[in-house]
Amino acid sequence: MLTKDQLRAAQERTAALFREAGIVLTAAERDNIEIADFGLNELERQGLELVTYVNNERYCAKELVLFPRQTCPEHRHPPVGDDPGKTETFRCRHGNVLLYVEGEPAERPQARIPEGSEPYYTVFREIVLNPGDQYTIPPNTLHWFQAGDAGAIVSEFSSTSRDEFDVFTDPRIKRIPEAAD
Output b/e per residue, 109-141; b: 16+ Cβ within 10 A. eebebbeebeebbebbebbebeeebebebebeb
Domain map of the chain by residue range? 2-180
User: pTM score, two decimals?
Assistant: 0.95
Question: pLDDT tens digits for the chain (181 residues)?
Answer: 789 999 999 999 999 999 999 999 999 999 999 999 999 999 999 999 999 999 999 999 999 999 999 999 999 999 999 999 999 999 999 999 999 999 999 999 999 999 999 999 999 999 999 999 999 999 999 999 999 999 999 999 999 999 899 999 999 998 775 666 6
The architecture (CATH level 2) of 2-180 comes to Sandwich (2.60)
